């Protein structure tokens, strides 16, 4: 909850007559721009009324609704556990309502989220049903914590305010006691009442009279039954409350409830969401089990929020994938919920009665009679409406071939762990920007430097200027972008966000546009990074952890691989069959936590089966150490993983190559049977459409659109972006990535934003994307020239695959024409060797081999199948020539990442 926004709302409610943004700003001593922003947010949320005209007047809503719609009211009969864990509490509550002449004042004890507010409303409904209260009797609910820091306002809200009680009190205002006359007043968190409020409440409880704030002579009477609620224990609660409130009721925590009740609670909430969405919801059995067993510290309230979140994710997936129903998967659950599966073994017998015979998916159809709590904060459809808005916004950008779910959700837990760099001198491309934009950017960054006490170089300014130009154009067209994690930005980058607020005011005044909060989040991102610093990146340390069932299975497999490779890389965890899953998880977690500083590159977790496969995500969520998990591991997979770690490859590369190794074991011909994919170029920036749209406009004219898709993507956090690239690679052959954030991944060529505006570099990209090497045609043309080789076309295809493999291992990107030249060279070399011709001698061979030992070994190993099939022997000299050709023809950025200013 935003305390400043709530303060503005309460001020309007107290004033009644309406106020302007200027009046609010002066009264509360805040910036006018901020006041206007908060008022507009309240108006959008339909919590206040915004009147047209000049000046704009903001007014509170009309008299608050104090009656409950009985047609959708919840009663004791509808509560889960009414004949179980809540039986005694319900009996006490009914006795308190029926006690003559006007019932007993009641205090409800219970931890956060146990349902105290809901229980109080059930008491009210029972009072109506039993005719203890009249049909139109009011039920007024109030949370004392809302005003705990302002005793005067709290006192006035409950007991009323007399005109002139304080500056600004221009008329009498009735309090909650008056509104609840002849009904029930529910005071949540009653222990937060200040001493003066407690004293007046005790007077009212004892005598039935009260005195409004500012009233010195007259007292007023009211007939109100007080129901209080507190998270304090009955032992610690004030004895004065205990003495004056005779009925105390304690609600059980979720831990005290049976599995039967917990299952009923979960399925009830899912049915409610199905009704609200008017759509069938299917839930994986593992997800149901996780919700039944996880430790919900916030009790029922937390379970409901967690279920709401996972249903929202399912709804997003449903909208973006056009599925027939909403599907809740285990992977969609938050880390604390997923941990519930670690307790599965302890409750295996108890779980059978709920899930046996129901299959892997449990279906919840809409249409069941829904009993609704009128005060339920999760009752509204705001989250689903927000998803609809986001999906619609992104659809307008015609990103039909992009996984919208990843764009919106994105893993943004590590928002600024990425190191953003621009790849050239900005002065080369200032002419691309309107003069006014560059001047405004310079002015904004001068303010930022002074306020944040840091320096930004021209590269950082140029990157922001490109973004600013696109932002202004976009907002003038009436199109906004939703920031996927604005709250975390505001929380984690408070200084930058405050400065961004001030900068947005300058932009608004200069460009005559209104900057939304989401855009301020993006400005904060630019202020929180420093581009172009020649700072060495931290060494990436990657650990391979082999984790398997059996007393020595993992240890034996790892030792075998270490001995073969002569390395000490890797750690083994053995899980004996009598060991609890939670125990081995805790051991692994402790190891990662103890060595987190040495695991900057991440963890590759190699497992065999079962619950161990879920540890990867759990470890990442709990420690922040990026973890990839591969199941059904064999000795060959461990060998490949250790080999690539020792070569210094990234976690993503190791993970992808390990998966390919596994697929090769299962099916040697896997790569040969892959269906031909459509080519793609990915363009990216922070918003996905600012700088990216300009890059899109530069690239589209130089590629064949019938063969190549240019995909715009949003870059928020590196790991999330790479996961999205992985997903795209299942559908596309990604030829290149272009953008403002450097991406070194899967040997995909990267072009900076500056390079795309360089005609020579754009030509290189065009060649990479458009120039396919027709190996079959080249093979046909060489049939007569290669007299000692049979099956020339097949040889050419094999050589092409071999060269691509070598380039990938060496992180080398070659132009297609160079690729073709090396392949033809290899073909003629094989033909000459079969004829017995002498190989050339390589100058300074020993020195070259020492410098490129790994590369030479890689090429020789890769050529072994060719040598065997064609009965030739490649000399060290020829191997060196091949390595030299690859090294000398690598495509490198014209503008290195660490270039100094």
- Four-residue CA torsion sign, 560, 561, 564, 569: negative
- In the listed set 252, 287, 304, which residue is the last one of a domain according to the structure? 252
Q: How far apart are CA 803 and CA 818, in angstroms?
A: 11
Mark residue 705 as left, alpha or beta (left: phi above 0; alpha: psi -120 to 50; beta: remaining).
alpha
In a domain, 405, yes or no: no
Q: Name the pLDDT band for 88 (thresholds 50, 70, 90).
A: very high
Q: Are 211 and 160 contacting, i.e. CB atoms less than 8 angstroms apart?
A: no
**85 and 33 share one domain:** no
**162 and 230 share one domain:** yes
**For residue 759, how far is the Cα from the chain centroid?**
38
Which segment, 142-156, 415-429, 847-861, is predicted with the most confidence on average? 847-861
Beta-carbon neighbour count of residue 467 at 10 Å?
A: 22
In a domain, 896, yes or no: no
In a domain, 538, yes or no: no
Smallest Cα–Cα separation from 706: which of 741, 666, 675, 679?
A: 679
Task: Residue 103: give its domain's CATH number.
Answer: 3.40.50.300
pLDDT at 251: 93
In a domain, 900, yes or no: no
0.95 exceeded by pTM: no
Sheet of 732-739, strands arranged across = 708-714, 678-685, 732-739, 750-752
Q: Is the pLDDT of residue 372 over 60?
A: no
Task: Residue 834: give its domain's CATH number.
Answer: 1.10.1790.10
Q: How far apart are CA 599 and CA 540, in angstroms?
A: 7
pLDDT at 570: 92
**152 and 119 share one domain:** yes
**259 and 239 share one domain:** no
In the chain, pLDDT over 90 holds for what percent of residues? 11
Structure tokens at 285: 């059995």
Helix (H, G, I), strand (E, B) or coil at 403: coil
pLDDT digits (tens, 9 = 90+) for 190-242: 887 777 777 778 888 888 888 888 887 888 889 999 999 988 876 666 666 66
Degrees to nearest 5, angle at CA 493 with 492 and 494:
105
Q: Is the pLDDT of residue 72 over 70?
A: no
Task: Residue 25: give its domain's CATH number.
Answer: 1.10.10.10
Task: Residue 663: give its domain's CATH number.
Answer: 3.40.50.510
Kindly state the average pLDDT of the residues 121-134.
91
In a domain, 65, yes or no: no
Of the two residues 398 and 311, the one the predictor is more confident about is: 311
**DSSP per residue, 460-508:** HHHHHHHHHHHHHHHHHTT-----TTHHHHHHH-HHHHHHHHHHHHHHH
Q: How far apart are CA 495 and CA 451, in angstroms?
A: 9
Distances (CA, A) of 810 to 386, 406, 806, 863, 890: 46, 30, 6, 15, 10
* Residue 802 CA neighbour count, 13 Å, CB half: 23
Q: Are 337 and 306 contacting, i.e. CB atoms less than 8 angstroms apart?
A: yes
**267 and 380 share one domain:** yes
Helix (H, G, I), strand (E, B) or coil at 410: coil
pLDDT at 810: 74
In a domain, 849, yes or no: yes
- Four-residue CA torsion sign, 876, 880, 886, 892: positive
Kindly state the average pLDDT of the residues 487-512.
83
pLDDT at 378: 47
Mean pLDDT of the chain: 77
The torsion angles phi and psi of 400, rounded to 5 degrees, stand at -70, -20
Q: Distance from first CA to last CA of the chain, Å, rounded? A: 44
**836 and 756 share one domain:** no
pLDDT at 227: 94
Number of domains in the chain: 7
Of the two residues 46 and 464, the one the predictor is more confident about is: 464
- Four-residue CA torsion sign, 450, 455, 458, 460: negative
Q: Are 81 and 88 contacting, i.e. CB atoms less than 8 angstroms apart?
A: no
In a domain, 647, yes or no: yes
Q: What domain range includes position 695?
A: 678-770
Structure tokens at 508: 């608004």
pLDDT at 191: 82
pLDDT digits (tens, 9 = 90+) for 750-805: 888 777 877 777 777 877 787 566 676 777 778 778 888 888 888 888 888 888 77
In a domain, 90, yes or no: yes
Q: Is the pLDDT of residue 395 over 80?
A: no
């Amino acid at each position: 909850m935003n305390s400043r926004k709530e303060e503005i709302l309460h001020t309007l409610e107290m004033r009644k007559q309406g106020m302007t943004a200027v009046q609010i700003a002066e009264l509360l001593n805040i910036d006018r721009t901020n006041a206007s922003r908060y008022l507009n947010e309240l108006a959008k949320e339909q919590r206040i009324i915004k009147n047209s005209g000049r000046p704009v007047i903001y007014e509170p809503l009309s008299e608050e609704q104090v009656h409950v719609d009985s047609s959708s009211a919840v009663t004791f009969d509808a509560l889960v556990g009414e004949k179980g864990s809540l039986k005694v509490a319900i009996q006490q509550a009914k006795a308190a309502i029926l006690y003559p002449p006007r019932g007993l004042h009641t205090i409800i004890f219970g931890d956060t989220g146990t349902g105290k507010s809901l229980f109080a409303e059930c008491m009210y409904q029972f009072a109506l049903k039993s005719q203890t209260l009249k049909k139109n009797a009011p039920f007024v609910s109030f949370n004392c914590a809302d005003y705990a820091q302002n005793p005067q306002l709290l006192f006035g809200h409950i007991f009323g305010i007399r005109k002139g009680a304080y500056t600004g009190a221009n008329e009498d205002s009735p309090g909650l006691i008056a509104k609840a006359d002849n009904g029930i007043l529910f005071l949540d968190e009653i222990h937060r009442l200040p001493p003066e409020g407690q004293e007046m409440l005790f007077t009212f409880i004892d005598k039935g009279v009260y005195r409004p704030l500012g009233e010195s002579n007259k007292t007023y009477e009211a007939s109100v039954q007080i129901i209080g609620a507190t998270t304090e224990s009955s032992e610690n609660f004030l004895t004065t409350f205990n003495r004056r409130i005779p009925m105390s009721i304690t609600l059980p925590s979720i831990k005290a409830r049976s599995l039967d009740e917990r299952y009923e609670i979960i399925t009830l909430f899912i049915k409610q969401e199905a009704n609200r969405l008017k759509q069938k919801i299917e839930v994986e059995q593992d997800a149901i089990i996780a919700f039944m067993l996880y430790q919900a510290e916030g009790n029922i309230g937390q379970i409901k929020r967690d279920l709401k979140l996972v249903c929202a994710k399912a709804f997003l997936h449903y909208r973006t994938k056009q599925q027939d129903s909403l599907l809740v998967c285990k992977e969609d659950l938050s880390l604390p919920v997923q941990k519930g599966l670690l307790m599965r073994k302890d409750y295996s017998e108890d779980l059978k009665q709920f899930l046996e015979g129901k299959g892997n998916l449990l279906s919840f159809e809409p249409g069941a009679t829904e009993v609704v709590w009128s005060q339920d904060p999760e009752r509204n459809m705001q989250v689903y409406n927000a998803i609809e808005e986001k999906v619609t916004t992104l659809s307008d950008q015609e990103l039909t071939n992009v996984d919208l779910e990843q764009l919106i959700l994105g893993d943004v837990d590590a928002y600024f762990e990425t190191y953003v760099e621009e790849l050239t001198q900005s002065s080369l491309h200032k002419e691309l920007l309107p003069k006014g934009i560059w001047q405004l950017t310079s002015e904004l960054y001068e303010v930022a430097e002074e306020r944040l006490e840091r320096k930004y170089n021209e590269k950082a300014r140029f990157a922001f200027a490109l973004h600013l130009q696109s932002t202004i154009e976009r907002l003038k067209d009436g199109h906004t972008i939703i920031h996927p994690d604005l709250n975390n930005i505001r929380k984690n980058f408070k200084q930058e966000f405050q400065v961004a607020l001030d900068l947005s005011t300058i932009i608004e005044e200069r460009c005559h546009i209104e900057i939304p909060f989401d855009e301020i989040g993006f400005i904060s991102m630019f202020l929180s990074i420093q581009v172009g610093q020649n700072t060495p990146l931290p060494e990436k340390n990657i650990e391979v952890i082999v984790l398997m069932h059996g007393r020595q299975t993992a240890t034996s497999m790892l030792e075998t691989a270490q001995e073969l490779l002569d390395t000490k890389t890797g750690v083994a965890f053995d899980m004996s069959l009598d060991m609890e899953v939670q125990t081995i998880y805790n051991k692994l977690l402790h190891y990662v936590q103890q060595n987190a500083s040495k695991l900057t590159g991440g963890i590759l977790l190699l497992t065999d089966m079962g619950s161990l496969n879920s540890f990867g995500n759990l470890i990442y969520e709990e420690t922040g150490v990026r973890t990839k998990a591969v199941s059904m591991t064999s000795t060959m997979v461990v060998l490949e993983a250790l080999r690539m770690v020792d070569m210094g490859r990234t976690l993503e590369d190791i993970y992808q190559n390990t998966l390919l190794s596994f697929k090769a074991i299962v099916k040697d011909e896997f790569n040969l049977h892959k269906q031909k994919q459509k080519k793609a170029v990915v363009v990216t920036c922070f918003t996905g459409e600012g700088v990216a749209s300009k890059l899109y406009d530069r690239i589209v004219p130089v590629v064949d659109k019938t063969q190549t898709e240019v995909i715009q993507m949003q870059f928020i956090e590196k790991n999330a972006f790479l996961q999205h690239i992985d997903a795209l690679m299942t559908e596309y052959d990604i030829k290149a990535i272009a953008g403002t954030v450097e991406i070194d991944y899967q040997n995909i060529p990267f072009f900076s934003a500056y390079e795309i505006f360089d005609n020579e570099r754009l030509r290189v990209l065009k060649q990479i994307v458009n120039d396919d090497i027709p190996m079959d045609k080249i093979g046909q043309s060489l049939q007569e020239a290669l007299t000692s080789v049979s099956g020339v076309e097949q040889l050419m295809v094999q050589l092409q695959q071999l060269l691509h493999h070598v380039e990938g291992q060496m992180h080398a990107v070659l132009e297609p024409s160079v690729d073709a030249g090396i392949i033809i060279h290899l073909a003629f070399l094989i033909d000459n060797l079969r004829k017995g011709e002498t190989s050339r001698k390589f100058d300074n061979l020993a020195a070259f081999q020492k410098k490129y030992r790994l590369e030479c070994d890689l090429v020789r190993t890769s050529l072994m199948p060719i040598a065997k099939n064609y009965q030739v022997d490649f000399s060290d000299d020829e191997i060196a020539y091949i390595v030299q050709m690859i090294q000398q023809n690598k495509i490198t950025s014209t503008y290195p990442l660490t270039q100094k200013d």
